[in-house]
Chain A
Amino acid sequence: MTKRVARWSKLALSAAGVLTLAGVSISPSYAANDAQIYIVQGLPGRDLDVAIDKGPPIAQAVTTASAAGPFQVKPGSHTVTFSENGNTVLQNTFTIKEGSKADLVAHLLASGSSDPRVTVYDKYDAVKVTRDKALFVVSHVAAAPPVDLRVDGNVLFPKIANGESSERRVPGGTYKITIVPAGKTQPLYYGPFSLTVKGGTIAHVYVVGDPNQKTMSVAPRFLPAAITGSVRPSEVNTGTGGQAFGPGPLLEVNLAR
């Protein structure tokens, strides 16, 4: 019995492999369930070529603090390779879900060690915002300790560490932003810079670089979001009986301030 099961599963695995290969070879066009990726280049001082699996480059000479995309990929596991002048700089595997959106971010670790890293950000799919507001996302992918992101002088995003993200809903508008060590106002890691966000969108700021090398920067990503909520009302009619004040003269409402 055990033998038979083993043989069947071996056969199944082999057939799976054949089918997988066949599936790849006969359907070069992209299907509706494909995932969509953007490349965010957070490695300072490099112009990087990007390839998925063993294919040709999908993007070439992507400069620091810029994003490239969108690129369609099949759902499942892949390998992303960042190279410069034909030399591999960074290679990681990643997994992506059917129909989803993700950013693949090449970046330094907090220690600034020579080993860079790819981090996947894939939280866009369920986001809904109102017409007036944007989802403001901040991701720390710099060679720096935890940071505060100050918006118009206030710490809107406290203590984000390398590899972490934080998000808040903000009204559409232009904001003045500075990036400082968590809990401090000096030294100024980056800024002040202006960021304009539109209602009904996602504004994602990647904090990249290394303050010790004076390569701090930000890579912004702007995406449309699903809109939720109705328009601003002009009228609220919440009394149709008159009982609250009872019969006779109206009671004076307490308007003390």
Chain B
Amino acid sequence: MLRAWPPRIRRFQRCGLVLRYFVVSVVCLLTSLCACSAQTAPPVSTSGMEKPTAGSSVIPAGQAQPAASQRLEFIPDQLTLPGDASALVLPATTVDGVLKVPENVQHVGWWDGSAWAGEPFGSTVIAGHIDSATAGTGFFARLLKIKVGDTVTVRADSHRLKYRVTSVRKVAKKALATDGQAFKQTGPHRLVLVTCTGNYHRDRGGYDSNLVVVAKPQGLAR
């Protein structure tokens, strides 16, 4: 999930090499055993002792190292709203144009085509239920009370990035797709929280508007 590079690369390579020789040795040992027991062991060729690589005086190439200044970018798995209210964030996919948020109304969904927290451009989109006919009020009912200036935090493992709310808007459902902030992957990085609001139409089983909360990152992801 994290973009940080594993520092294990050299060790893996060395392990792989050792393992390869070990496996080859074991295979050959078995072959040799069979050959000996049949009293047909061929004379040992000393040329076989040569290493497959060139002279030992050649020094190994360097391995590209991640810069100490490498920025952290991560897929959020937890969201905390004002009042220390936290929810699990699960990946959410678009199916037939509709973002499929988690069924559990206490969880929220990160659109899997949106930015990772800490990317330099584009919105990180997290959507969740305000309510459901079967499960009652959802986690994102809390967005009805969120204000400009509030702090929202996303986390993954030990990493986190804080955002400050800069706008809270009601957008007609049909206008959401073309909204300048909501889903765009260009422009300065931001966190976009989406739920439903407006008039509830019992006959249609849904609201006529979306609530769009935009927040700007405060510092770097850690």
Contacts and interface: CB of A to CB of B under 8 A. Distances in A.
Interface of A: 8-21, 53-54, 76-80, 91-95, 97, 104-105, 117-123, 130-133, 139-140, 156-161, 163-171, 173, 228-245, 250-251, 253-257
Contact of B48 (A18, A93, A239): A18
A11 B32 contact: yes
B69 interface: yes
A118 B61 CA distance: 5
A241 B66 contact: no
8 contacts: A14-B49, A78-B53, A119-B64, A164-B67, A165-B66, A238-B195, A253-B211, A254-B168
A17 B141 contact: no
A17 B111 contact: no
Contacts of B128: 238
A15 B28 contact: yes
Nearest to B204: A240
Q: In terms of DSSP, what is the predominant structure of the interface of chain B?
A: mixed
B222 interface: no
Interface residues of B, number: 101
A54 B58 CA distance: 13
Contacts of B146: 254
Contacts, number: 282
Interface of B: 3, 5, 9, 12-13, 16-17, 20-21, 24-29, 31-32, 44-50, 52-54, 58-71, 73, 93-95, 97-99, 101, 111-116, 119-122, 127-138, 140-141, 144-148, 167-170, 173, 176-177, 183, 185-186, 194-200, 202, 205-207, 210-211
A255 B70 contact: no
Contacts of B115: 133, 169
A173 B20 CA distance: 44
Contacts of A233: 94, 97-99, 111, 177, 183
A159 B67 contact: yes
Given A19-B24, A231-B94, A239-B197, 12 more contacts: A15-B31, A20-B24, A78-B53, A123-B5, A130-B113, A140-B67, A164-B66, A229-B114, A232-B94, A236-B176, A238-B138, A256-B168
Q: In terms of DSSP, what is the predominant structure of the interface of chain A?
A: mixed
A14 B48 contact: yes
Nearest to A139: B64
A169 B3 CA distance: 10
Contact of B60 (A94, A166, A230): A94
Contacts of B134: 241
A117 B28 contact: no
A161 B61 contact: no
